[in-house]
Amino acid sequence: MNVLLRRPRQATVPVGEFVASRLESRLSREATGSFVLKVSATFLSLIQGLILARWLGAAGYGAFTYALSWIALLGIPAVLGLQQLLIRDTAAYLARSAWGSINGLLRWANRTVLIVSLSIAFLAAGAAVLLTEESDQILITFGLALFILPLTSLTTLRQAAMQGLQHVVVSQLPDMLIRPTLFIALLGGAHLFLGAGLIAPWAMGLYVAAASVALVFGTHMLRRTLPRAAAEAPPEYDTRTWVKSALPLLFIGGMFVVYERTSILLLGTIKGAELVGLYTVAFRVAQLVTFALSAVNVALGPDVSSLHAQGRTRQLQRVVTGFAWVNLLWSLSVSAVLIVFGHWILLLFGEEFALAQTALTILSVGQLMNGAMGSASLLLVMTGHERDAAVGLGISAVLNIILNALLIPRWGLEGAAVATASSMIAWNLLLAVLVYIRLRIHSTILGTVNSLGQP
């Protein structure tokens, strides 16, 4: 009799732990899938950079990356911050089965971004012709790159919508796998026909073709993952709310790109395309230090918002701390390899790129701090403290611009690296402190201690 009375108590005990375990298991699968894709994309990016650096040379590769840097910068106003809005609101509408709102948001976002991105491309083309005195190769390469702006902007929207629909891993395939793989294949084919005649404008034309295929593939995938009820529901629009929410997210996205591209743009303006090529290789190699963090953030974002809204602080701390350990161990390992073996790694891109060894060491230290601070920016944005994230990123971006303007004329390549690493360290320390002040959560491994004392 006593045994029978105890059974109901035993059945109810593990319910909370079971829910937590299911969440963490799903997050682990999504993070693992994103990590694998990130590894693949990074490997493809390195191969792409290696091919372009060897076949185009430092000057040609500099012209190519200089043009893409401008496209990344112009992509900020082109997308209008709607990618984060799509992730957040699509997930919310999905939970409420608000099919008409999903349909309306997708239609409105696509129309708006298409019109804005085309307008920016036309204005940029006119400005380039009238105001710049660049070489023909740089100008033609930039002109071709402008075709990429609407293509990548619309692809970004499709990725964001699929993430909001809980297809996190699948959403990343067009940008991380399809486009770079096809671009490398097209480069190989062009090299067979052109040999040493491959130049930056030809390479950019092939990039446009690869981006077009990625957009078509992303559109097809979104149609397959979009619930039929959402596709068939009459669209419902809440334009005022969407615009109001997108503005701060637009600023944050802008600060990220400004921060990443300032050194490239100022190097190209002050020192020329050759140093841009050297710096770009060093910066991309150094990003290996934090690609585990990038993979984690893709999977973690929506669930941070959910756990915070439910007041499940201890579980949120546990999840964040677990991923913080992964980020730190990865960052330490990779940065050590890059610092010790950087010279030989850079030689893979060509003998002239070994000149970027000091810059690679400096950037690796900055990225190590980035990885060690964990998902600080993501935690602020997903818990309603996007203004704090915007302030932190704004301060870092301004500091980055000032340091680049002061150090590049004196130290060139190494000056750009010092400016980027210094502002990166300042930014991450500031955001980590803000996370603890606002949420009483450690974004770093210090959460191991913090979680023990939480109720």
CA distance 141 to 353: 22
Q: Give the confidence band of 24 by pLDDT, cuts at 50, 70, 90.
A: low
Quick check: 48 pLDDT over 80? yes
- CA neighbor of 102 nearest in space, from 222, 244, 246: 222
Of 297-301, 339-343, 355-359, which gets the smallest average pLDDT?
A: 297-301
Amino acid of residue 101: S
Q: For 308-312, what is the mean pLDDT?
A: 72
Is residue 450 pLDDT above 60, yes or no?
no
Q: Is the pLDDT of residue 1 over 60?
A: no
The domain locations on the chain are: 43-237, 241-455
Report, as an integer, the average pLDDT of 339-353.
89
For 164, list phi and psi in degrees, rounded to 5.
Answer: -65, -30
> What is the overall mean pLDDT for the chain?
83
What mean pLDDT do residues 441-445 have? 88
For the ranges 199-203, 305-309, 401-405, the one whose mean pLDDT is highest: 401-405
Query: Above 60 in pLDDT, residue 282?
Result: yes
Q: How far is Cα 318 from Cα 305, in angstroms, rounded to an integer?
A: 15
CA trace torsion 203, 205, 207, 208 (10° rounding)? 170
Q: Long-range contact list for 183-187, CB < 8 A, 24+ apart?
A: 183/48, 183/207, 183/210, 184/44, 184/47, 184/48, 184/51, 186/210, 187/48, 187/51, 187/52, 187/55
Helix intervals (H) in 80-135:
82-95, 99-131
Residues 289 and 371: beta-carbon distance below 8 Å: yes
% of the chain surpassing 70 pLDDT? 89
pLDDT of residue 69: 82
**Rounded distance, CA 72 to CA 377, Å?**
20
- Quick one: average pLDDT of 9-25? 50
Confidence label for 256 from pLDDT (cuts 50, 70 and 90): confident
Phi and psi of 86, rounded to 5°? -65, -45
Q: What is the pLDDT of residue 235?
A: 92
> Degrees (nearest 5) of the Cα angle 37, 38, 40?
65
| One-letter amino acid for residue 199 of the chain | I
Is the per-residue pLDDT at 87 higher than 60?
Answer: yes
Higher pLDDT, 343 or 263: 343
Asked if residues 190 and 58 have their Cβ atoms less than 8 Å apart, the reply is no
What is the per-residue pLDDT for 308? 73
In the predicted structure, residue 136 carries a pLDDT above the cut 80: no
pLDDT tens profile 363-382 = 999 999 988 888 888 888 77
pLDDT tens for residues 392-429?
888 888 899 999 999 999 888 899 999 999 998 998 89
**Between residues 316 and 210, the one the model is more confident about:** 210
Total Cβ atoms within 10 A of residue 453: 7
- Looking up tokens 């981006």 gives 211
Q: Under a CB-based contact definition with an 8 Å cutoff, are residues 208 and 179 in contact?
A: no
The 3-state DSSP class for residue 74 equals helix
Please check whether residue 268 is in contact with residue 62, taking contact to mean a CB–CB distance below 8 angstroms.
yes
pLDDT at residue number 3 = 39
Token pair belonging to 122: 């036309």
Rounded to an integer, what distance in angstroms lies between the CA atom of residue 141 and that of residue 137?
A: 6
Q: What is the pLDDT of residues 28-47, one digit of tens each?
A: 777 778 778 877 887 888 88
Q: Are 190 and 51 in contact (CB under 8 A)?
A: no
Q: How far is CA 82 from CA 160, 425, 444, in A?
A: 9, 28, 29
What does the pLDDT look like over 311-331, one tens digit per residue?
778 888 888 888 889 889 999
Calculate mean pLDDT across residues 293-317.
Answer: 76
Q: What is the pLDDT of residue 375?
A: 87
Q: Is the pLDDT of residue 109 over 90?
A: yes
